[in-house]
Amino acid sequence: MAGAADGNTHKEWKMPDARELVTLSELSDRLTTELQKAEDAAGSKITVQYMLREPDATGCNWSDSVVLQVGPNASKESLAPYVAQLVQHARQRFNVNG
């Protein structure tokens, strides 16, 4: 019977992955780089507005309210769904340092 002698008495657990810390500028640059990979998004830019006073319920400490500047071959309407997806993913992956 398995027990303490064979080391199998504790269930294995994994610490949650920590968010990578970046500046607001670095975060904006990363989002912009990903955005510009989309068709017709050349020249478009995402700017993250501000850091939250306290992390939200998910642990993210920056606002999902971003400014989208569109390039000459795109429209806000065409890019908005992709931008929302990029921001949602980034909020799970990054926190900003003040």
pLDDT exceeds 80 at position 35: yes
* pLDDT value of residue 17: 66
Overall average pLDDT of the 18-27 stretch:
96
What band does 26 get if pLDDT is binned at 50, 70 and 90?
very high
According to DSSP, the β-strands at 20-22 and 94-96 are: parallel
What band does 98 get if pLDDT is binned at 50, 70 and 90?
confident
The C-alpha atoms of residue 36 and residue 52 are separated, in whole angstroms, by: 26
How many Cβ atoms sit within 10 Å of the Cβ of residue 47?
Answer: 15
pTM of the model as a whole: 0.81
Overall average pLDDT of the 44-63 stretch:
96
At residue 90, the 3 state secondary structure works out as: helix
